[in-house]
Structure 1
Amino acid sequence: MHLSLKAGERIFINGAVLRVDRKVSIELLNDATFLLENHVLQVEDATTPLRQLYFVAQALLIDPSNSEKAKSVYEDLHRETQKLFTHREIINGLKHAAEMIDAGRAFDALKIIRGLFVMESAILPGEPEAKPIQAA
């Protein structure tokens, strides 16, 4: 897999945080768990149920040494989040995201959850329009 990074950009690979000092392209030659900086949600931005779920799911990628604990928190939060929504597309998305987490595909779960942010902001009262996290 080829990745292009801008100067100063960070990438999280197998729990390590790398920052590049100039524009670079890198090629991952084996299986690696990674997350680009522009996909990382900061704790202060985890202000809605789906964003909180996303935040916990990203911990599976950023900190693999604590993945069992993060997965347990994800499962609990997922169960509670499902109770909050009646919108069929969000419920289906949450189910699909949980399947991806169970299959060890946290990055795919993040893409699914990210795709639900706009619907969530339209459903929840008082929520401003969701700030996008760039899609993978």
Structure 2
Amino acid sequence: MKKSIKISLKPGEKIYVNGAVIRVDRKTSLEFLNDVQFLLENHVMQPEQATTPLKQLYFIVQVMMMSPHDCEQAKALFQRSIPVLLHTIKVPEILAGLKHIDALVAQGDVYEALKQIRTLYRFEEPVVTETDETPALRAVAGE
């Protein structure tokens, strides 16, 4: 078991825990005493925000965490996306990060994979516009 994690939430804030959405009505502190996969509301990406290849990858991994009934479809999309990204991206830091992210997802550690993807954003130039969303991304988003 990892160390416990303590999180403070503001009134009205949401947290996503193991696929469940929880909203608090007052200032609250939560302490997770065991391994848990969670996302704070400010780390949740909306489909229209997935405007670059790494942000699209983040959204796919996020679906794996937040939507258990779409997990297998999202995982298949992730497994198709990684080789394409490894082949097309030339930035060494991103390439190394993608290999690590692939290993994390294979181990089932999607929370850590999301954290790692966020660290790579600074190396990526915006190359995809909002109107270029892929049909596969839209399908996973349920649109």
- TM superposition score normalised by structure 2: 0.80
Structure 1 residues 105, 125: closer, same or farther in 2, change over 3 A? closer
Q: Say whether 1:6 aligns with 2:6.
A: no
90-99 vs 29-38, which deviates more?
29-38
Question: Which residue matches 1:84?
Answer: 88
42-51 vs 62-71, which deviates more?
62-71
88-97 vs 26-35, which deviates more?
26-35
Query: Distance in 2 between the 1:54 and 1:14 partners?
Result: 17
Query: Distance in 2 between the 1:81 and 1:114 partners?
Result: 16
4+ aligned runs moved over 4 Å, structure 1: 124-127
Query: CA offsets, 1:74-94, max 9 Å, x none?
Result: 111222222221111110011
Q: Is the 8 A contact 1:97 1:109 kept in 2?
A: yes
Question: Which residue matches 1:59?
Answer: 63
Query: CA offsets, 1:98-125, max 9 Å, x none?
Result: 011001111111111111111102xx56
Query: Distance in 1 between the 2:127 and 2:34 partners?
Result: 45
| SS class of match (1:71) | helix
Query: Distance in 2 between the 1:79 and 1:19 partners?
Result: 37
Bigger relative CO (Cα 8 Å, ≥ 6 apart): 2
- 5+ residue gaps, structure 1, are 128-136
Query: Distance in 1 between the 2:106 and 2:17 partners?
Result: 20
* Alignment-mate amino acid for residue 50 of structure 2: A
| SS class of match (1:53) | helix
| SS class of match (1:21) | coil
Question: Which residue matches 2:29?
Answer: 25
Q: Is the 8 A contact 2:52 2:128 kept in 1?
A: no
Query: Distance in 1 between the 2:60 and 2:70 partners?
Result: 11
Q: Is the 8 A contact 1:15 1:65 kept in 2?
A: no
Question: Which residue matches 1:70?
Answer: 74
Query: Distance in 2 between the 1:115 and 1:33 partners?
Result: 18
Quote the offset at 1:49 in angstroms: 0.5
* Alignment-mate amino acid for residue 108 of structure 1: E
How many residues are paired up?
125
Alpha-carbon RMSD across the aligned residues, in angstroms, is 1.7
